[in-house]
Structure 1
Amino acid sequence: MRINLTSVFVDDQDKALRFYTEVLGFVKKHEVPVGQHRWLTVVSPDDPDGTELLLEPDEHPAVDPYRSALVADGIPVAAFAVDDVRAECERLRGLGVRFTQDPVEMGPVVTAVLDDTCGNLIQLTQYA
């Protein structure tokens, strides 16, 4: 068994696609019309057949209270691995990304948390 798909709820699929591809560096894998929205996934360019991230519309009534509570408490909804958190933070800051947590060493990992502009906090993680 392996993880094939996970999702983040986004307030605007077009805005999310731009952020996740043009800023974070993922690549679009699937874009299939589904009613007024799309089945829209991105993947790592380093693992195009790996886990897909679904940029899922946030229209379900449970999403807003759930996501608002996570953001208010500073809890990321997802974590992405990078080779060097500090270097990635600098690169992303240069592109205008806002961080809610600067790089912090936590035992064998270094983490930072960013705002994805679509309603979510995302953690970057570097394993020692």
Structure 2
Amino acid sequence: MRIGVTSIFVDDQDKAQAFYTDVLGFQLKDKVPLGAHSWLTVVSGADPDGTQLSLEPDEHPAAKAYKTALSADGIPVMAFTVDNVETEHRRLTDRGVEFTQAPLAMGPVVTAVFDDTCGNLVQLVSPVGA
């Protein structure tokens, strides 16, 4: 058993697609129109056949409440592994990404947290010394 698709709730699929591809650097995997929304997934360019991230509309009231509560408490909904958090922090800051937590060593890892512009906080993680 392995994870094929995981989801993140977004307030606007077009805005999310632009942010996750143009800013973060993921690749569009699938975009299948389904009425007012799409089945919209992105993948890592380093692993195009790997786990897909579904950019899921947050129209269900529970999804909006979930996102709002986690964001208000500063809790990331997702973590992305990167080779070096400090390097990625600089790259994304230069691209206009707003971080709520600068790189911080936390035991065996370094983390940073950014706002994905779609109502979520996302954490970056790399091993210390990477």
- Fold match, TM over 0.5? yes
1:25 maps to a residue whose letter is G
CA RMSD of aligned residues (A): 0.6
Alignment partner, residue 102 of structure 1: 102
Alignment partner, residue 51 of structure 1: 51
Distance in 1, Cα, partners of 2:5 & 2:90: 29
Distance in 2, Cα, partners of 1:127 & 1:39: 33
Alignment partner, residue 111 of structure 2: 111
2:43 maps to a residue whose letter is V
Distance in 1, Cα, partners of 2:73 & 2:84: 25
2:13 maps to a residue whose letter is Q
TM-score (norm 1): 0.98
Alignment partner, residue 36 of structure 1: 36
- Number of aligned residue pairs: give it: 128
Distance in 2, Cα, partners of 1:84 & 1:22: 20
Name the % identity: 66
How far the C-alpha of 1:64 sits from its partner, in A, is: 1.4
Distance in 2, Cα, partners of 1:72 & 1:39: 28
Which structure 2 segments of 5+ residues have no match? Answer: none
Q: Find the residue that maps to 1:20 and give its secondary structure.
A: helix
1:65 maps to a residue whose letter is A
1:48-107, Cα deviation, whole Å (9 max, x unpaired): 000000000010010111111100110000000000100100110001100000111011
Which structure 1 segments of 5+ residues have no match? Answer: none
TM-score (norm 2): 0.97
How far the C-alpha of 1:31 sits from its partner, in A, is: 0.5
Alignment partner, residue 19 of structure 2: 19
2:80 pairs with 1:80: yes
Structure 1 moving runs of 4+ over 4 Å: none
